[in-house]
Amino acid sequence: MNDGQGPVTNPITRREFVGTASTLAMGAMIVPRHVLGGPGYQAPSDTLNVAIVGAGGMGMSNWTQLLGENVVAICDVDMPYVERSIAGRLRVRPPTSVPATVPEAERAKWMEERTKAAEKSLLEAQAVERTYLKAAKYADFRQLLDRQKNLDGIVVATPDHLHAVIAERAMRAGKHVYVQKPLAATVHESRVLAKTARELPKIVTQMGNQGHSGEGTRRIRELIQAGIIGKVSEVHVWTDRPVRYWAQGIPRPEVANATNGAAAPAAAPQAALALSDGKPLPVAPPRWNMRTVDNAVLAAMAANPQSPPPGLDWDLYCGPVPPIPYHPAYHPFSWRGWTDFGVGAIGDMGAHLIDQPYWALDLTQPTSVSASSTPWGGPANNPASYPLAMTAEYEYPAVGARGPVKLFWYDGGLMPPRPNFLPDDQTLPRGDGGGGVFIGEKGILIYETYGNNPRVFPASLQEAADRVPKTVPRVDVPHEVNWANACKGKGQASSPFAYAAALNETMLLPIVALRAGQGRKIAYDAAAMTVTNVPEANPFLTRRYRDGWSL
């Protein structure tokens, strides 16, 4: 990691990465056309110079989609984490056997498909490695923007708390921006990014809700706008997150004990009890309530190393957040469940699941929101982590010919009740990610994560659905490439901040409602960006920034 004075030099060499001679030879097959020339050649003047800010996680997936552009710089506060991510991708190998659960007739196809997918992933990883080795390296995004003079645009894929701070500064510096979801961590930040985009119309913006570019989301808009299921009065949206991915509802690490080397305190031994005859009774076994569980979590956290690992600039990681002591419970990846750095499950999946009703029904902002949940992690008045599960109810006013709409959100694996019109032999989507269901007068429309696989019920509606023409323009390239093309004047970005900031605001309002109190309904005046009936909720529309980091 650098000393904060300039670009990071390449900290590793090619031979330090995982790889074999054969895989390196295969890697030469995926060099982008703008390097090779010949048929399909893309001239350097038609190639975007891009930096990836936050490159070890989702940023690497975005990077992979942008291999046809010129990735000139990598900016990350933990470059060793980036390198480990690349090395991990280089270990991908085709399967050597087919699971016994795959039917005999499908085994050859299963092997062929997964072999091709593994080979493609490996080739992409090798191309990422090559671009990494030659790219300029930075730890501080501010230095990237000041010193990388050939930069056209940036991808922001950091933890949520840094999205708006980086994006606004980049836009003011004249750079196009692609920002992962959620677009921002607060309603106020969403408004700032929308305002900045309006003031700088030549800057191309995009939120990383890739489902918005997908066929399913566009078909949903067409079907709902065509009235296939009749007037829509309710929409229910759900996700399994954070289940299996990161922890929520847990206390903050008691890292203060690390200063004197002490471990988290053990539970005091239970005193022996006796009846009136004085004979001692057997000691009762430990009582496992939620406090016991919290103590066990704290003890496990205390056993972890609590010094930042080599190469991590923890102060830069905290960025606009008032610094807290490092703990591996925060980084890498697990940051999403902590109130300092993430926006929980709705921040992760709302952009992939609320997007469809928000667009299809031309929603604006709700007039009221209420939310309830399992307990927060830590004190309720100053929580450390988001609840393990939350439900929310939005009320949207009637607009034009569309009547009022209620939208319900469920996370943590919670699901809505089975809707009318759903056949007995069908279930609501419970696959990885989640799904949604529009409730109409004549039927329902269900969809999966990203808007995939939309279906209407009862089945008698399908014939009419099939006749609905495709009127919404299709995006025939990956979401990231759509943004890069728009930066070069080829078409328009699919999910620009003009749309994405309003969607992001809707996504974050249940967090504000939940901070106002369990089940308490907040009345929201979107024009004034104010909660009118619960004044104490208004501070949660924004956040406290460290000096020098505010928008």
SS3 category, 3: coil
Give the C-alpha separation, 482 to 176, whole Å: 13
Give the distance, in angstroms, between the CA of residue 199 and the centroid of all CA atoms in the same chain: 27
Residue with tokens 């928008």: 551
Give the C-alpha separation, 337 to 525, whole Å: 28
pLDDT in tens, 122-158: 999 999 999 999 999 999 999 999 999 999 999 999 9
Give the C-alpha separation, 488 to 483, whole Å: 9
Q: What is the mean pLDDT of residues 68-74?
A: 97
Q: Are strands 49-53 and 70-75 parallel, antiparallel or unpaired?
A: parallel
Q: What are phi and psi of 402, to 5 degrees?
A: -85, 130
Question: What is the per-residue pLDDT for 275?
Answer: 81
Determine the residue type at 458: P
pLDDT confidence band for 418 (50 / 70 / 90): very high
Question: What is the per-residue pLDDT for 101?
Answer: 93
Of residues 376, 354, 161, the one with CA closest to residue 239: 354
SS3 category, 386: coil
SS3 category, 349: helix
**Before 282, cis peptide (omega within 30)?**
no
Q: What is the mean pLDDT of residues 264-276?
A: 64
Q: Are strands 205-207 and 176-179 parallel, antiparallel or unpaired?
A: parallel
Question: What is the per-residue pLDDT for 44?
Answer: 62
Q: Whole-number mean pLDDT of the chain?
A: 90
Task: Say if CB 394 and CB 509 are below 8 A apart.
Answer: yes
pLDDT confidence band for 42 (50 / 70 / 90): low
Task: Say if CB 389 and CB 273 are below 8 A apart.
Answer: no
Give the C-alpha separation, 425 to 410, whole Å: 23
Please count the other Cβ atoms lying within 10 Å of the Cβ belonging to residue 158: 28
Question: What is the per-residue pLDDT for 283?
Answer: 81
Query: SS3 sequence, 255-287?
Result: HHHHHCCCCCCCCCCCCCCECCCCCECCCCCCC
Determine the residue type at 303: A
Question: What is the per-residue pLDDT for 9?
Answer: 45
Burial class of residue 316 in the structure, from the number of CB atoms within 10 Å of its CB (0-12 exposed, 13-18 middle, 19+ buried): middle
- Would you say residue 464 has pLDDT above 90? yes
Question: What is the per-residue pLDDT for 266?
Answer: 54
Task: Say if CB 206 and CB 379 are below 8 A apart.
Answer: no
Strand partners, 399: 402
Give the C-alpha separation, 542 to 184, whole Å: 10
pLDDT in tens, 499-518: 999 999 999 999 999 999 99
Please count the other Cβ atoms lying within 10 Å of the Cβ belonging to residue 33: 14
Tally: H helices and E strands in the chain: 16, 15
Strand partners, 71: 50
- Would you say residue 440 has pLDDT above 70? yes
Residue with tokens 């309002």: 509
pLDDT confidence band for 14 (50 / 70 / 90): very low
Task: Say if CB 155 and CB 66 are below 8 A apart.
Answer: yes
Question: What is the per-residue pLDDT for 321?
Answer: 94
Q: What is the mean pLDDT of residues 448-465?
A: 96
- Would you say residue 358 has pLDDT above 80? yes
CA atoms within 13 A on the CB side of 518: 10
Task: Say if CB 297 and CB 291 are below 8 A apart.
Answer: no
Task: Say if CB 223 and CB 473 are below 8 A apart.
Answer: no
Determine the residue type at 275: L
- Would you say residue 234 has pLDDT above 60? yes
pLDDT in tens, 107-121: 999 999 999 999 999
Question: What is the per-residue pLDDT for 20?
Answer: 38
- Where is pLDDT greater, at 208 or 269? 208
Q: What is the mean pLDDT of residues 462-468?
A: 96
Of residues 473, 516, 467, the one with CA closest to residue 492: 473
**Per-residue DSSP letter, 36:** H
CA atoms within 13 A on the CB side of 516: 26
Q: Which long-range contacts (CB under 8 A, 24 or more apart) does 473-480 make?
A: 473/218, 474/215, 474/218, 475/213, 475/214, 475/218, 478/65, 478/210, 478/213, 479/65, 479/206, 479/208, 479/209, 479/210, 479/212, 479/213, 480/62, 480/65, 480/66, 480/155, 480/178, 480/206, 480/208, 480/210
pLDDT confidence band for 432 (50 / 70 / 90): confident
Q: Percent of the chain at pLDDT above 90?
A: 77
pLDDT in tens, 160-171: 999 999 999 999
Question: What is the per-residue pLDDT for 256?
Answer: 52
Question: What is the per-residue pLDDT for 268?
Answer: 56
Q: Are strands 176-179 and 153-156 parallel, antiparallel or unpaired?
A: parallel
Give the C-alpha separation, 8 to 14, whole Å: 16
